[in-house]
A and B are shown apart, each in its own frame.
Chain A
């Protein structure tokens, strides 16, 4: 997930990447999962690594986790960068994601992967990078079906339990998404940033996976954020899946 981005990042301090619960090589306990659980995983990781505080960078579900870490453990947070995350879905958007939850419940990751890849990458990028897209597809399909469903349910709930807390986080915040990300829309990013008193960046012509499709533009945005907030040292990146 983060390799291409880190190659472009100029301001990288010590970076910690990890698989969130239910993903990749990390533990896959039975569900349900919650953002509280994910936040506690991150904090225990910081404790284990003896890191006092860090800048949290989260992508998609990871963005919701970053928000939860900020709300629950603000003393451990130097800044928050939320990439391509959902915020306050409209009823129609909520219906759409709940339909996908049902599809995943019935057919596992395979039930939604094709539609997902269309939502995540632009058409020209898919055509020009078949191997990378295939790699992402295989990574999705490798997910444990039970854990994938449990994580997807957290994503579908959208972190609503933390929305009232956002203005109390009071840490430097950046919220960014792709202009054409129809799941995590520019409007969502703007509203989330407003609640966090943070900055917004809308990347042109990108969908849900700018960190993979255009890691250079994402790195530049994060470099600016790190320099402006003087956040140095530890950067903790929560990722959804070891894409």
Chain B
């Protein structure tokens, strides 16, 4: 199995950035989501292993996550503010054009990158993302907002290593020693470094879900209609934080987007159903 030490530190626009860059061929860049102890390795270790026999697969810890530098003043950067760093990583790796794959908040960044510089984006893959998809409207949003509150409440010191393991959406479904080991290491690194502290004082727009979707409403939706890049949406059926209805609404906004709903899977769909997920991603990227 690959190990995180197969990665290396690179300078991406002045940000010391942990990056795992494996394989040869067309470039596939993987962007992780945003939560305490989440980083590229935890999210993608099974996908990197699978796809790197057919593609050049690059993934990196976003600014403020994993082994990469904290933002200036350890002030949390939202998913729009992290996009310039992602471009800097592609530049530093010499990746001119890539298939961009984003999970959760990483999907927002991928979609935003496709809007900003479509010539550099071959295809996009958006995976079970509440930070990218539309609200349903009114009462219909109550369910996923409550589920997100429960899943992402890490402020006021509530996130101990134990609760982090106990509430993890993947470990709640499946016993997975490899994943749990990485998650524990990440939690401890977040405490040692600045991540944990950074997550203690998130802006209100990150924790109030009525405000949270404004970012995609203002910086994504007005531009999605003009997008002419092949798009794949991968949703998980059992992810209460991002119901399938929201994926369908996002599909309506992106012309030609294909939607796959993977059963028996929650937010960490790439670990809940790795064969189905990696098989789909591999075939779609290759097509």
Residues of A within 8 A of B (CB): 179, 186, 190, 193-194, 197-205, 216-217, 220, 223-224, 227-228
Contacts and interface: CB of A to CB of B under 8 A. Distances in A.
Given A190-B261, A194-B237, A224 B276 contact: yes
A200 B265 CA distance: 12
Q: Which 10 A-B pairs have the closest CB atoms?
A: A200-B261, A228-B276, A202-B259, A227-B279, A204-B256, A228-B279, A224-B280, A228-B275, A224-B279, A224-B283
A190 B273 CA distance: 18
Given A194-B237, A223-B283, A228-B275, A204 B263 contact: no
Interface residues of B, number: 22
A152 B165 CA distance: 54
26 contacts: A186-B248, A190-B244, A193-B261, A194-B263, A197-B264, A199-B261, A199-B262, A199-B276, A200-B261, A201-B259, A201-B260, A202-B258, A202-B259, A204-B258, A205-B255, A216-B287, A217-B258, A220-B283, A220-B284, A223-B283, A224-B279, A227-B279, A227-B283, A228-B273, A228-B276, A228-B280
A5 B90 CA distance: 38
Interface string B101-129: 00000000000000000000000000000
A194 B257 CA distance: 22
B251 interface: yes
Contacts, number: 60
Given A202-B260, A205-B256, A227-B279, 13 more contacts: A190-B261, A193-B261, A197-B263, A199-B263, A200-B260, A202-B258, A202-B261, A204-B258, A216-B287, A217-B258, A223-B283, A224-B283, A227-B275
Interface in B242-287: 244, 248, 251, 255-264, 273, 275-276, 279-280, 283-284, 287
A220 B232 CA distance: 13
Nearest to A226: B279
A179 B264 CA distance: 22
Nearest to B230: A204
- Among the interface residues A194, A199, A205, A223, which one has the most CB atoms of the partner chain B within 10 A? A199
B263 A198 contact: yes
A203 B258 contact: yes
Contacts of A199: 260-263, 276
Contacts of A223: 283
A203 B233 CA distance: 11
A201 B232 CA distance: 11
